[in-house]
Chains A and B, each alone.
Chain A
Amino acid sequence: MKNEFIEHHLNMNRRKFLSRLSLGIGSVALGSLLIPDLFGKSSINEAPFIPGMPHFAPKAKRIIYLFQNGAPSQLESFDYKPKLREMMGQELPPSIRMGQRLTGMTAGQSSFPLVGSHYDFKQYGEARAWVSDLFPHTAQIVDDICIVRSMFTEAINHDPALTFFQTGAQQGNRASFGSWMSYGLGSENKNLPAFCVLLSRGKGNGQGVYSKLWSNGFLDSIHQGVQFSSGDNPVLYLNNPEGIDMANRRQMLDQLASLNDQSYKDFGDPEISTKIQQYEMAYRMQTAVPELTDLSKESDDIIKLYGPECLVPGTFAANCLLARKLSESGVRFVQLYHQGWDQHGNLPNEMAGQAKDVDRASAALITDLKQRGLLDETLVIWGGEFGRTNYCQGKMTADNYGRDHHPRCFSIWMAGGGVKPGIVYGETDEFGYNIVKDPVHVHDFHATVLHLMGLDHEKLTFKHQGRRYRLTDVAGKVIPGLMA
């Protein structure tokens, strides 16, 4: 018996060991033929995803995001709560508030009196969606839009909330939504940037917007948002300086490109070739941009549709019109910001002014895209960074009150490109404080929008500082109920 053990062990002698070793290595080598990066990094296919192309057939090709900066009140727009009127002035029940955090602006308030909408609501469209009297034109297009009443976010103050919506993180060091889109899908029109930003400002209490919101973050700088300003020079430094004509410019660019090329060969920094591309695009933008921003040729029909304000550069209406033209010309992501929605006080008056600024033009944009056959491929999003409280901030009178920040529920709407039209999604409790059905987190919203654009939010990644980043961070799920 002992001998047999010895014999068995002797079976594993040096010769066998060596031959098996060589076989083993050979097998690993064979495996490595199939797996190019088995041994550490390899040049090809490092990234699990190829940027510039949708992962699957997209529903929408372009996005126009009408951001209502400052957080419009859901209780005076799309979330009808008759209960609040009935209980006007009564205390917000603790069972509803559940001790959730408040901002420093009202945390010290000794009482939280409920306040109902100053404006009446009516039902519209096939979905019988409730829309307040402040938005008569949006009310006319409810059959084309999807109202989401169950959005919620994590931040409670403007800057982090806005940054969260625009970059997927509350700190401002990530790539913005539009930059991700430019990175993920590329530019359609090589004569215009893939990501454009338009600003306007209402008369209401405002909050600033900063260029970090359209920053490319860690992505290549070609994905940065380009801000169009409202003056004679919509894109700064685009025009030729005095005494330089197109031919001169061309010559200068050719020279510059050859110098840059040389230095690219020397250093291999990809930012150099980005720079060359950007100069070339700027050259082509010199003809593309003036054609787009010229409002003098708009027909009477268009002016009547968007309202006469649309011819005054820098207004929300003019930006909507410009957004349509940019989008139609293949700009992947047009980001509008309309400031002035921060109604801590004097809400009934200020909000009426804000709504008047945006209502007609927002609805007009949908109608205009539709009549050109473009709504199917363009996704329009309307909404702010959070909602407003159901209780009054500051002094409450019969027809004046204010509302504080409320991240736990708010309403936005979406239209076009693969969105289920004519529905109202989600539900809040009768106090308009908490969500009771189908909540949509900001990450879910991002995941869904990316899905509509043909991108898998888990695959749209960029490796930076040793980690793969996503717009949806490590969360987010696609919401099928929002999609047609």
Chain B
Amino acid sequence: MTWNRIRWQHIGSQLLFAANIFALVLFIAGSKAIVPAWLQVVGRMHPLALHFPIVLLLLGSLLLFVQLREPEASRWKTQFTSWLLLAGALSTAVTVIMGLLLAREEGYTDGNIQWHKWGGMAVLWAASSLYWLRSYPKPWLPKTGALATAALLLATGHFGANITHGNNFVLAPVTPHNTAVPLEKALVYEHLVKPVLEEKCMNCHNAGKAKGGLSMELPQQLLAGGKSGKLFIPGNPAISLMMERLHLPAEDKKHMPPAGKPQLTEEEVALLYYWIKGGADFKTQVASLPARDSLRLLAAARLQPAASKEPVYDFSPADDKLVRQLNNNYRVVYPIALHAAPLVANWYNKDKFNITSVRELLPVKEQLIEMHLQKMPVQDADLVVLSQFKQLRVLNLSFSNITGQTLATLTKLPHLQSLSLSGTPVTLQQLTSLKSAPALQEVYVWNTSLSHADVKQAQKMLRQVTVVEGFTNDKGEQLKLNQPTLPNAASVFRNSIQLKLQHPVKGVEIRYTIDGSAPDSLHSPVFKDSLLITGNTTVRAIACKQGWYASDPIQLQLVKTTYAPDSITLVTQPEGAYFASGGSTLTDGQKGGMDYKNGKWLGYTKNALEAIVWFPQPVPLKSVTIGSLRNVGSFIFLPQQIEVWGGTSPQQLKLLKKIIPPAGKKDDPVTVMDIDCAFPVTQVSYMKIIMTPAILPSWHPGKGKHAWLFTDELLFN
């Protein structure tokens, strides 16, 4: 034992220990590691390094079992083995670390990687232990260790090879397999029918065995059939022997495949059925079948999908910082995905736009694939700037200011696939200049100068391109207009009101009546600016326009209140959530409508409503109109009784009118009712109105309880 040797082995052993710890750290927390590029290079050398541990460890393990009689040779062997094992363990550590770094890269996701990782760690531990225990006094320990290490090594290597070469790489040449064929190249018999027969039938029906005299290996044998006759009649699966045998009950002796053998799935039976139905041809291509053909759909499900149509970009990404700088409030430039090179640019707010804002993107023209310039004031001359962005795939110029004169400039874009020109005055002539655009697939021409015939013409000229026309109303469909609206629809007014009617559609005429008759589009007066109403009136109005059906009539009842009280005080307070704006609700000129929850109604149930009304000076009154709601289902009834008291001072009130409204009936519809309380003309400056809630009648679910009463407005005439 020379000092040198011990020293080097010592250093090696220390290194091995360190490498073990390091590998363990990487193994446990590796998923959080951020691997710099240069280390990735190291990681990728894993497949190179892994050959060393295999050879060294296997050889070292083998030598542990070799017995040499010559003592000198034996000593030498022991030393040599020791070196081999150290080198093996160290190279294992290096390989494992490299592997763990490599596993961090994307694309390593399947189950093999987990097994391989664990296996690698196990080999490392086994190899390290083997080295440290190589001269353990009991020789069976290192020997068992050697065997375990070798076994682990083989298993780990196997999983690793699976990752690199695919599962079942070694045995693939001797295992039967289906070659994956893309749909467009597949043949119905060769790639769909035959594999089913091979898997489920040919174990017995092959040239060697040919049970029942039937072999299915070759087309002519299939056509010939067996002892029971022809296997099938092309075009007629219903009476074909093969289908009969497949469909017989499973326990039937003649059912195929026989009980206990793997059965055909429903899809497989359907496949054979449709193949025979289609004439049992041996040469038909899947691609030649119609798109919605049953056989084709089955084929699509079984065959591997056509090669992915995901576009591939071969340029390098732009500088992140540069891209960030190019963003502002009105222009957004961003990569299509995280860490992806292609860029997309959008512009917003046409007032802030000028072509410089496009020119500023020239530094990233090698990456820019989409420009969304819709509604921006891009001019004809600006297309020269756009044509410098050679990587453009999508260009949206709809509703921009281009006229189409310089459209031919865009043919310089070698990759342009989609171009939107909707809402520009582009003509057929100009559009056909796009004929030489090399990659164009779609062009959008809605709302341009092109007529329907022009679009057809354009479609003919631009063969490879889909010309999208969009919505046109040339079917002459007539639509019904919606109703006019009333922007100042207060239905209660004093003295007079300037009524306004509106309609959102341009060029609409509003015709109206104020006598309650139905308005029509020919004779009724046309509404202009405003309409002066001075008395109680029912206004009905319709909207009319050439080329449209007239709208349904809108109807509004306008009622007049002559005297406005100074104030109204509620002696009893409204109940529940129905307090609206208190006493002023009753004189705000707002009718409540059908919805009692809208905050325009006062509601009472336990207490009677008692309101005191003040007028600034005595007024000659002849009626009070009380707005009420009836909604039997919601427990809302008309008051049981209404009393109107009036006089010139609080001390001298006399009963002017007492009304008992009709009791509610079961099928009363929901209505808003104005209850008129008329009396001989009386000078009044002070009034008291009392309304008592009804009691729910016996037919009502809440019988015996108080009903609600709702009131929204008082009119004084």
Q: How far is the CA of A159 from the CA of B292 in the complex (A)?
A: 41
B485 touches A189 (CB 8 A): no
Q: Would A34 and B35 be within 8 Å (CB), given that A54-B337, A55-B338, A288-B349 are in contact?
A: yes
Q: How far is the CB of A222 from chain B (nearest CB, A)?
A: 15
In the assembled complex, A36 has its CB within 8 A of some CB on chain B: yes
In the assembled complex, A308 has its CB within 8 A of some CB on chain B: yes
* Contact residues in B for A376 (Cβ distance below 8 Å): 418
Q: Among the listed B19, B349, B419, which residue makes an inter-chain contact with A27, where contact means beta carbons less than 8 Å apart?
A: B19
A34 touches B335 (CB 8 A): no
Q: Among the listed B25, B39, B348, B374, which residue makes an inter-chain contact with A372, where contact means beta carbons less than 8 Å apart?
A: B374
Q: Among the listed A27, A38, A56, which residue makes an inter-chain contact with B32, where contact means beta carbons less than 8 Å apart?
A: A38
In the assembled complex, B701 has its CB within 8 A of some CB on chain A: no
B348 touches A45 (CB 8 A): no
In the assembled complex, B471 has its CB within 8 A of some CB on chain A: yes
Max chain A CB contacts within 10 Å: which of B17, B348, B468?
B348
Residue of B nearest to A307 (CB): B479
Q: How far is the CA of A58 from the CA of B334 in the complex (A)?
A: 13
Total interface residues on A, CB under 8 Å, equals 61
Q: How far is the CA of A30 from the CA of B18 in the complex (A)?
A: 10
In the assembled complex, A436 has its CB within 8 A of some CB on chain B: no
* Contact residues in A for B232 (Cβ distance below 8 Å): none
Within 8 A of A (CB), among B1-33: 14, 17-19, 21-22, 25-26, 29-30, 32-33
B32 touches A37 (CB 8 A): yes
Q: Among the listed A54, A303, A307, A368, which residue makes an inter-chain contact with B338, where contact means beta carbons less than 8 Å apart?
A: A54
A27 touches B21 (CB 8 A): yes
Q: How far is the CB of A353 from chain B (nearest CB, A)?
A: 14
Q: How far is the CA of A367 from the CA of B335 in the complex (A)?
A: 28
In the assembled complex, A212 has its CB within 8 A of some CB on chain B: no
In the assembled complex, B420 has its CB within 8 A of some CB on chain A: yes
* Contact residues in B for A288 (Cβ distance below 8 Å): 348-349
Q: Among the listed A50, A304, A364, A371, which residue makes an inter-chain contact with B444, where contact means beta carbons less than 8 Å apart?
A: A371
Q: How far is the CA of A154 from the CA of B92 in the complex (A)?
A: 53
Q: Would A308 and B479 be within 8 Å (CB), given that A5-B137, A30-B22, A57-B310 are in contact?
A: yes
1/0 per position for A279-320, CB-CB distance to B under 8 A?
Answer: 000001001100000011001110111011101100000000
Taking residues whose C-beta sits less than 8 angstroms from the other chain, chain B's interface range is 35 or more
Q: Would A35 and B29 be within 8 Å (CB), given that A4-B137, A26-B18 are in contact?
A: yes
* Contact residues in B for A300 (Cβ distance below 8 Å): 473
Q: Would A373 and B468 be within 8 Å (CB), given that A191-B330, A330-B332 are in contact?
A: yes
In the assembled complex, B469 has its CB within 8 A of some CB on chain A: yes
Q: Among the listed B310, B336, B469, which residue makes an inter-chain contact with A54, where contact means beta carbons less than 8 Å apart?
A: B336
In the assembled complex, B65 has its CB within 8 A of some CB on chain A: no
* Contact residues in B for A303 (Cβ distance below 8 Å): 505
Stretch at the interface among A17-25, A92-100, A260-268: A17-25
Q: Among the listed A5, A35, A188, A368, which residue makes an inter-chain contact with B25, where contact means beta carbons less than 8 Å apart?
A: A35
**Chain B interface mostly helix, strand, loop or mixed?**
loop
A28 touches B25 (CB 8 A): yes
In the assembled complex, B265 has its CB within 8 A of some CB on chain A: no
Residue of B nearest to A318 (CB): B504
A189 touches B18 (CB 8 A): no
* Contact residues in B for A10 (Cβ distance below 8 Å): none
Q: Would A34 and B482 be within 8 Å (CB), given that A53-B338, A190-B329, A373-B420 are in contact?
A: no
* Contact residues in B for A299 (Cβ distance below 8 Å): 447
Q: How far is the CA of A287 from the CA of B351 in the complex (A)?
A: 10
Q: Among the listed A191, A308, A368, which residue makes an inter-chain contact with B471, where contact means beta carbons less than 8 Å apart?
A: A368
In the assembled complex, B481 has its CB within 8 A of some CB on chain A: yes
Max chain A CB contacts within 10 Å: which of B419, B442, B479, B504?
B504
Q: How far is the CB of B374 from chain A (nearest CB, A)?
A: 7
In the assembled complex, A474 has its CB within 8 A of some CB on chain B: no
* Contact residues in B for A208 (Cβ distance below 8 Å): none
* Contact residues in A for B25 (Cβ distance below 8 Å): 27-28, 31-32, 35, 38
Q: How far is the CA of A482 from the CA of B266 in the complex (A)?
A: 23
Q: How far is the CB of B659 from chain A (nearest CB, A)?
A: 34
* Contact residues in A for B329 (Cβ distance below 8 Å): 190-191, 284
Q: Among the listed B26, B349, B479, B504, which residue makes an inter-chain contact with A191, where contact means beta carbons less than 8 Å apart?
A: B349
Within 8 A of B (CB), among A247-288: 284, 287-288
A301 touches B471 (CB 8 A): yes
Q: Among the listed B26, B336, B342, which residue makes an inter-chain contact with A34, where contact means beta carbons less than 8 Å apart?
A: B26
A20 touches B17 (CB 8 A): yes
A56 touches B348 (CB 8 A): no
B505 touches A28 (CB 8 A): no
A34 touches B471 (CB 8 A): no
* Contact residues in B for A189 (Cβ distance below 8 Å): 332, 346, 348
A34 touches B34 (CB 8 A): yes
1/0 per position for A29-51, CB-CB distance to B under 8 A?
Answer: 01110111110000001000010
Q: Among the listed B292, B398, B505, which residue makes an inter-chain contact with A373, where contact means beta carbons less than 8 Å apart?
A: B398
In the assembled complex, B685 has its CB within 8 A of some CB on chain A: no
A24 touches B17 (CB 8 A): yes
Q: Would A308 and B332 be within 8 Å (CB), given that A4-B137, A371-B468 are in contact?
A: no
* Contact residues in B for A35 (Cβ distance below 8 Å): 25, 29-30, 32-34
In the assembled complex, A126 has its CB within 8 A of some CB on chain B: yes
A23 touches B32 (CB 8 A): no
Q: How far is the CA of A222 from the CA of B34 in the complex (A)?
A: 31
Q: How far is the CB of A420 from chain B (nearest CB, A)?
A: 12
* Contact residues in B for A368 (Cβ distance below 8 Å): 470-471
Q: How far is the CA of A288 from the CA of B21 in the complex (A)?
A: 60
B346 touches A188 (CB 8 A): yes
Q: How far is the CA of A337 from the CA of B479 in the complex (A)?
A: 25
Q: Would A57 and B336 be within 8 Å (CB), given that A34-B39, A191-B348 are in contact?
A: yes
In the assembled complex, A14 has its CB within 8 A of some CB on chain B: no
In the assembled complex, A454 has its CB within 8 A of some CB on chain B: yes
Q: How far is the CB of A135 from chain B (nearest CB, A)?
A: 17
In the assembled complex, B80 has its CB within 8 A of some CB on chain A: no
In the assembled complex, B223 has its CB within 8 A of some CB on chain A: no
Q: How far is the CB of B591 from chain A (nearest CB, A)?
A: 20
* Contact residues in A for B375 (Cβ distance below 8 Å): 328
* Contact residues in A for B169 (Cβ distance below 8 Å): none
Q: How far is the CB of A389 from chain B (nearest CB, A)?
A: 24
B469 touches A371 (CB 8 A): yes
B479 touches A34 (CB 8 A): no
In the assembled complex, B655 has its CB within 8 A of some CB on chain A: no
B470 touches A371 (CB 8 A): yes
Residue of A nearest to B442 (CB): A373
Q: Would A31 and B482 be within 8 Å (CB), given that A188-B332, A308-B548 are in contact?
A: no
A373 touches B338 (CB 8 A): no
In the assembled complex, B180 has its CB within 8 A of some CB on chain A: no
* Contact residues in A for B18 (Cβ distance below 8 Å): 23-24, 26-27
Residue of B nearest to A192 (CB): B348
1/0 per position for B492-522, CB-CB distance to A under 8 A?
Answer: 0000000000001110000000000000000
* Contact residues in B for A295 (Cβ distance below 8 Å): 504
* Contact residues in A for B34 (Cβ distance below 8 Å): 34-36, 45
Within 8 A of B (CB), among A353-369: 364, 367-368
* Contact residues in B for A477 (Cβ distance below 8 Å): none
B335 touches A31 (CB 8 A): no
Q: Would A53 and B469 be within 8 Å (CB), given that A8-B137, A312-B504 are in contact?
A: no
In the assembled complex, B711 has its CB within 8 A of some CB on chain A: no
* Contact residues in A for B423 (Cβ distance below 8 Å): 372
Residue of A nearest to B543 (CB): A308
A-B contact pairs, 12 of them (CB 8 A): A27-B22, A31-B26, A35-B34, A295-B504, A299-B447, A301-B471, A303-B505, A305-B473, A308-B504, A371-B422, A373-B419, A373-B444
- With contacts A31-B21, A308-B504, A373-B419 known, what are 7 further pairs, Cβ within 8 A? A31-B25, A45-B32, A57-B336, A312-B482, A372-B420, A373-B398, A373-B444
Interface on A for B, CB 8 Å cutoff?
1, 4-5, 8, 19-20, 23-24, 26-28, 30-32, 34-38, 45, 50, 53-58, 126, 188-191, 284, 287-288, 295-296, 299-301, 303-305, 307-309, 311-312, 328-330, 364, 367-368, 370-374, 376, 454
* Chain A to chain B: the 6 pairs with minimum beta-carbon distance, closest first: A371-B470, A311-B504, A373-B420, A31-B25, A371-B446, A27-B21
